[in-house]
Structures are given as structure tokens and as C-alpha cells.
Structure 1
Amino acid sequence: MTIMLAPRRAGTTGGRAPSDDDLDARFADVVDGAVLASAPAGGFRASLQQVRAGAAKSWRSMFGRRSATKATLGRPRILALVPAHNEEADIARTIEGLLAQTRPIDRIVVILDNCTDGTEAIVRRYQGVTVQHTVGNIDKKVGALTQGWQQWALDHDFVLGVDADTVLAKDALEQLEAEMVRVPSAAGVMCRYTFDINLGTTFFARQLIRAQRMDFASWLTDIMARNRSTYVLGGQATLFRTKHLQQVTTDLERNSPWDPDAQVEDMELTWRLHEMGRKTLVSATARAYAGPMVTMKGLMGQRRKWDEGMAALLWRHKMPDKNTFIPWKQQFSMLANGLVRLLFLAMLIAALTVHQFTWSPIWLIPIAIGVALNVKIAWRVPDRRPADIVYALLVFPAELWLITRVWSTAVSWLNIWFGARRDGWAAQAAAEAGKGGGSGVIGKMLAVILLGGAAVAGATWWWVTQASVQVQETVLTTGWSVVTVMTLALTGFALIKLFKPTRGYRP
């Protein structure tokens, strides 16, 4: 039998040692050439796949293949999965960050999910990056991750999940791997996230990024104070141990570790890992720059997806447990902060309309404590700028941010309670593209303000003209008492956060 070798493929290894992909490619060339040269039409040609599969064992025994648990040099193998849907604006920075890692990644896979822009053309410009297209995917990011997991993961010891708009610091993976080796019980370690203020091209965009930097710095400061144990391994940049993800997949009879029904698949997976007794940590040293939302539409679309996804998970678990206590506390804190402000405004209007309002300087104490806490957080923001401190000193930016957060949280819970189903992935993508999703939030808020204004006007008319003096006194006394108790409680929690030790960690 004459063996005809196929021509060497483009992009071969040159002077370096052949990789698994090179060996498999050459094996395919040899077997294809042999069969096609010797097989008559309609004979062995139809059995090409069987011949290739049967010869694979001999080929790999001759040239070698790294195992799923040990690299050639005894170093763990790391796979990077980057799901991407229409990410032409950001994908180049993400790939360049991965290729520049001080700890080289064994395989980088960009999973293109129904892209209609120039994402693929940009990705294919980079050598050393594998391109995978999703097939029949209806589960968006989770579906893309699932197909990448099924194709590549089990040949690697660690899986690095990276969003297509996230840029890793050069030593991020090196730091993450060192932590995983140092803590064998850790199923995953995520980077500390922040945002690049330079990505804001307008004044308003920079203020939105600044607010997100403050928000993440506050969240990470709390996590660092809890021994770096996190209830969510964010999908922006997290290194997972493959065997623990495989255990989740097997135990829950899934196609992959990620739940396609969860809008916050990273949080759901983290809770599953906790249930297995595994640690989930935030790195004290690894840094990543996540993609910020630079428009109100995009921001509200993202936050609605996060808040509604968290609310759905918490509602599924009902009572707080060791996995859900912190998220439940955050939800109650957010709603309590919104409620106390609403009650204060109502009591202020009620007192002014019947001339029963008396100013007291003591009311400035909660405001001063809140400003001090914001300054502490701003001081700890990575790549801090003077404008961050000014932002913290001003009361109104933080209050406006709180209003948007309370709105998103409240609406998300209402959707869960009333059984409204919403595709958060599609809404966020549309919002980021400026096509909708979060675009109606301003109109909805204005509608609520108008309806609220009408209700306040009607209540004020009744309060002033119809309510008796006794009713007015009872309402004012009770209302101010409730506001006082709630304010004292929230101020106490703020004081605890203000003076709580940070253990030397930076967010």
C-alpha cells in the first residue's frame, strides 16, 4: 500500500516542540492520505473515521500525549474559555491580556456564539488561540461555556473562565494558580475586579464607571474581611479546579457545571461548590479589569439581570443558610435603605404641611457617617484618583447610585413574586447595544414618579383638610419613631463597616 502524506498544514510549529494539536493534525493527515490513496471508491473511503479512530492509540503511543492530570513538564494544564457574542469592541484587549500572561495558558478557546459582527475576524488574527463556534445554542453564555467544556475541559487540570470584555493583569493567572496549589480544598479562586476609568469617553460615562468602581471596592472589602471567602465566583475571571467542576456535573446530571436556567450561573455554581464542602476564594493579589457599563441602559440591563437572578436563587432556597446568609443580608440592607429614605420623605412632607417640623442638627450624624464610609471606600479603590475622593465627599452621587440599586432590587423581587419571566441575557445584550433592555428604565422611573406625585398630592389634600389633629399627631409620632429606629440601626451597621479592620487586604 502506498502512503501519500498530505501537505503540511499552515501554522505549523516551526522550531518548537509539537503540541497535542500539531500531533493530532499530522496524525489526521497521515491516516487520511493513506486511506484515500489505497481505498477504492465506495470501499474503505466510507470507513475513514473508523480507521482514524483505530490508529489513534498507536500514533499517540509513538509521539506521546499529555495526560489530563499532568503536563509534559509536570506542570498543571490550564484551559481558558472565553465565550463571546458580538464582542468586536473588546475581544482584542481580552486576548492580548491572556497571551501576555507570565504563566502561559496551555489552550485559549474563544467560543463564538451567534456573532454577527467582526468578532471572529479579530480573534483569528491571533496565533495560539483556538476558535470554536457554538452549534444550536439556545442557552447563550451558559450554552457556549457548556460546549467549550464538553470539547476541551477534561484534558486540563484547571479551567479559567474569562468574559470577553475582561483584561487580566500580566501576573493574574500566575497568582491564581499559586493560590489553587497552596489551598487544595479550593474549587475556585477569582481575581479582584475593578474598572478602567479611561474607558469612559464622556463625563457621564466616567461617573458611571466611578460609581461601579466604588460599588465593587465596597463589595470586595467586605469579602476580604471574611477571610476572602465569596458567595459568588464571578464569571469575569475565575480559575476553577476541573475535577470539582466535573463532580458538580456528575452529581447533578448536567451537561456542564453551569445551570442553563440560572441568570446568575456563576453564583449558582459557587453555591453548589459550597454544598460539596469546597472553598471559593477571592485572590489577594490577582487583578482583572472587567468591562464597565458606560450607559445607563447598559448598567440597568446588567443590574436587573444580576438582581433578578440572585432573587430567583434566594427565593428557591427560601430560608437563609450558610450559603445564602450574606446575600439575604445584602438584599434586606438594600431594601431597608430605600424604605427609610422613602419614610423620611413622607414624614417630612407630612410635618411641613401641618407646621409640625422642627430641625435638629443631630440628623447630620448619619449623613456624616455615610460620607466617611464612602471616603474610606474611595481611598481603597484601585488606581485611585482625586476625583474618586470628591465623588465620595459629595452626598448626591452616592444617593443617586443607591436609588438605582434600590429600584433594580425592588423591581426584580416584584418580578419573582408575581412570576414574571424575563430573559436577562437578552435584555442586557440589547441594553448594551442601545436597542432596548434597560432603555425603558428611565421612562418607568418617570412613570412611577408621576404616579407617586399624584398619590402624594391626594394624600396631602386629605392630610391637610380631612385628618383630625389627633390623627395627625398619631401618624407623626409613630412615623418619626419608625424612621428613628431604622436610621439608628442602619447607622450602626455603617459604623461597624467604617471601623471594621481590613486585615491589610486591598479590593
Structure 2
Amino acid sequence: MSMISPVLWLFSICTAIPTALYGMEVSMSFLRRQVAPSPAERLPAAIIIPAHNEEDGIARTVLSVASQMRPFDRLLVVADNCTDATAEIARTAGAEVLERTDLKLRGKGYALDAGLQAIAQDPLPFVVFIDADCIIEAGGLDALVRASNAQSGAVQAVNLMLAPTGASIGTKVAEFAFLIKNKVRPKGLARMGVGCQLTGTAMAFPWALIRDVNIASGNLVEDMKLGLDLTLVGKPPTLCETSYIYSFFPQSKTGAATQRQRWESGHIATISEAFRALPKAQILKEPKLALLMLDLLIPPLSLLLLSLVIVGMTEIGLIISFDMPAGPFTVTMLALMWLLGTTSLAWLKYGMTALPPKDLIQVLPYVVSKIPLYLTIIAGRQNKSWIRTDRSNGSEPF
């Protein structure tokens, strides 16, 4: 039994470190931010919208962007392997359209790369990526490009997903978790003087930066991979807190399940990649970059909670059965209380609309129901290829 104690300590520490950082980020988000001055002049930008069979919502997205464009901007929709009227509708709405067909190299990363190649002959100072199912808030495009200019680097807008009317408890919990991941934690990192992760849409880049980055891949969460790559070269993205972009979760069960599996399996894969990158010399020399890399190691909220509970139950069982030391269990319980406490504060400040009090009783059963998904991901049996999310009945007007 002498080997069990070090193993227990290892599991406790491995779950406590990401939990401690998570709670620190949430806590820091409550602090008031200092507004940095932005350039008076808004420089030209090319807006690229990758789209695959998005005929139901592409016009709405194009119009939301076009209404904020300046005369010197350029709007390009990349209709990627489309079999519907996406290209025609986007043109009618006022966008320039590039139609791409490649049934082997499929996915958002390849579509974005095609868009970059298309504008490379006559590039503008900035490039903005926006997903085809999103609505950018009025003034958001200007704020995003100005922030990228001020930072001379990649900038991420606050990217939120909303549950449609009558959504299930799973979708409501997902909306709250999305709020924590894409608004609360990035705000906390910003208060700590650290960058943020890219979240997939409403991302702005100086042309000089993005032109040299390889984004042509089928990575399931290409945004996190791109943010990781930029961090590794010492140019981490930053958050623009005055730019918001919104989309809706799919209403169909198939769409929600596909989307959830793609995000969480891609997230876990990126955690593995970030862990392997941690020992790199340039990361260790810069504490803020190291902290941002550690942020990538924080698993999805449900998985983090489940991990703490499972580790804690295992430890208390060993303590009772074999009289093991209580130190690891104490660390795990402190981490669990820190997670629950800071998440509760975040819910009180930010999340009561997304997750009403009457629905809280259903949260724990929902979290437990995700165990099979995580076991599938860990076992490597999930689909690793890109699959479009089924958004049937999954959009609502703003």
C-alpha cells in the first residue's frame, strides 16, 4: 500500500491545480476593469465568413456584419462544400462569395484558409473571422478591429450562445457553462494582465500576424488550436469586452449532441496538446504565457466537477478501508468547495437568467448523465472528423 499514497496525492494535485486557477479567474472577473484607449481611426478590415449549408441563417449574419462595415471594408463568404443555396443567398445579401469544393479537406479551418488565400493578393490591414450562424452586436465590429489595432495582435470578442425558448436543462446548463468559459473566465484573465483563448467567432487579427499562421486543418476546435499556436510564439490573444457576438444552441437533440461531443472531445484533445507544450522554454520564461497555457488545462466544467467528486469518493473509500492518510482527501474537498463557491458567485452575478433558480435541482442529474460521453472520449471512440452541427429549428430572431 506504500505506493497508493503518492498516487492519491498526484490525483489530488492534478485536479486541484486547474480548480484553483478556475476559481481565481472567476473571482478576478468581479473586479472593475481599466479601459484602455483605442485608436481614433478605424483601419480597413476583411471579414471572412466560412459557411457550409447555412442557407437558413446566412442572410441574417451577412446583414448584421454589412450594417457595420465601412466603405473600405471587404466581406467574403466562403461557401464550403455547400449543396444548398448558401452562396446565392449570401450574394443577394451583399457579400462577395467564394465557392469551394473539396470533399477530402473539409471543415472550418480549410474554409478560412481559402478565404485568406483569396484576399492575399490585395490584403487589408486586419482580418475578422465570423461564423455563419452568429449575429455581431451593433458597434461590435468597430470595437473589435480597433482593439486589434491597439494591441497589435489577435483579439477575441465576447462570444455567447443562448438557449432557445423551451430549451432542455442540458442546453440551459450549457449556456451557463458557455457564459463562464467565454465571458467570466476571460474577464478574470484580463484583470490578471493575461491574454485569453480564442473561441471560434468574432476574432480579429492584423494581416501581418494571420498571414503566417497555418489554419488549414480539420481540428475539431480549430479556434483553441489557433490560440495555442499564437501563445506558443509569444503572441497570445486578448479579450475585447466591448464587442459581443451571439448565436443559438441547436434545438434538435441530434444537433445538440453532435455539437457537445465535438466541443468537448476537441477541448480534451487540446488539453493534451497544451500539456505537452508546457515545458517549452519560451513559455517557462514568461509567467503570463505559462498562466495562459495552464488555463487551457482546465477541463469542461462538468468534467472538472465529476473529476473532483470521483477522486474524493475514491480517497474516502481508501481511507476507510486501508487507513490511508487524509491529506489528499482534504486537498480534494477544499478544491471542490472552491469550485462550487466561485461557480455559485458567478451564477449569482452573471448566470441567473441563463439558468433560473427553479432549474438548479436538475443540474446534478444532468452532469452525471454526461459520464458516458466522457468515457467515450477518453476511450478514443468518438468521431474525430468534422461533422456539421444540425441546426434544424435552432435559430431565433434577435
Relative to the length of structure 1, the TM-score reads: 0.56
What residue number does 1:115 align with? Answer: 82
Q: Which amino acid aligns with 1:265?
A: E
Task: Determine if contact 1:99/1:105 at 8 Å carries over to the other structure.
Answer: no
Equivalences for 1:474-485 in 2 at 5 Å?
none
SS in 2 for 1:159: strand
From the two aligned structures, give the one with the greater helix fraction: 1
CA contact (8 A) 1:91 1:165 kept: yes
Q: Is 1:304–1:424's contact at 8 Å kept on the other side of the alignment?
A: no
Deviation at 1:232, TM superposition (A): 2.6
Per the alignment, do residues 313 and 216 of structure 1 end up closer, same or farther by CA in structure 2, a change over 3 Å counting?
closer
Report the equivalent of 1:84. Answer: 51
Matches within 5 A, 1:392-411: 394-397=360-363, 399-403=364-368, 407-411=372-376
Q: What is the identity, as a one-letter code, of the residue corresponding to 2:83?
A: T
Question: By how many angstroms is 1:179 displaced?
Answer: 1.3
1:12-411 equivalences under 5 Å are 76-101=43-68, 106-127=73-94, 129-136=95-102, 138-153=105-120, 155-184=123-152, 187-197=153-163, 200-204=164-168, 207-219=169-181, 220-227=183-190, 229-248=194-213, 257-317=214-274, 318=276, 320=278, 322=290, 324-328=293-297, 330-331=298-299, 335=303, 337-342=305-310, 373-381=342-350, 385=353, 388-391=355-358, 394-397=360-363, 399-403=364-368, 407-411=372-376
Q: Answer whether contact 2:186 2:197 (CA < 8 A) is retained.
A: no
CA displacement at 1:189 relative to structure 2: 0.8
- Residue number among 412, 416, 422 corresponding to 2:383 in the alignment: 422
Instruction: Give the TM-score of the pair, scaled to structure 2.
Output: 0.69
* 8 Å Cα contact 2:157-2:245 kept in structure 1: yes
Question: 2:35 aligns to what?
Answer: none
* TM-aligned CA deviation for residue 342 of structure 1: 4.7
SS of alignment partner, residue 128 of structure 2: strand
Alpha-carbon distance between aligned partners in 2 of 1:80 and 1:341, rounded to the nearest angstrom: 44
The separation in 2 between residues aligned to 1:403 and 1:286, in whole angstroms, is 35
Please give the alpha-carbon distance, in whole angstroms, between the structure 2 residues aligned to 1:93 and 1:78: 20
SS in 2 for 1:82: strand
Q: Secondary structure at the match of 1:227?
A: helix
Q: Could you list the per-position Cα deviations for residues 438-488 of structure 1 after superposition, in whole angstroms to 9, with x for gaps in the alignment?
A: xxxxxxxxxxxxxxxxxxxxxxxxxxxxxxxxxxxxxxxxxxxxxxxxxxx
Q: Is the 8 A contact 1:258 1:266 kept in 2?
A: no
CA displacement 1:173-212 (0-9 Å, x = unmatched)? 111122122222xx21111122344xx24343xx444323
Q: What secondary structure does 1:97 align onto?
A: helix
In structure 1, the residue corresponding to 2:113 is in which secondary structure?
helix
Q: Does the aligned pair in 1 maintain the 2:265–2:382 contact within 8 Å? A: no
What's the CA shift for 1:347? 10
CA distance 1:161–1:271, change in 2 (3 Å): same
CA–CA distance in structure 1, aligned partners of residues 85 and 180 of structure 2: 36
SS at match of 1:247: coil
Looking at structure 2, the residues matched to 310 and 371 of structure 1 have their Cα atoms a distance apart, in angstroms, of 22
Q: How many residues align?
A: 322
Deviation, 1:110, is 0.9
Stretches of structure 1 that go unaligned for 5 or more consecutive residues are: 1-73, 249-256, 350-364, 435-507
> What is the deviation of 1:395?
3.3
Task: Structure 2 unaligned segments of length 5 or more: list them.
Answer: 1-40, 280-289, 318-333, 394-398
Partners of 2:211 and 2:149 in 1: how far apart?
A: 18
Answer yes or no: is the 8 Å Cα contact 1:79–1:105 preserved in 2: no
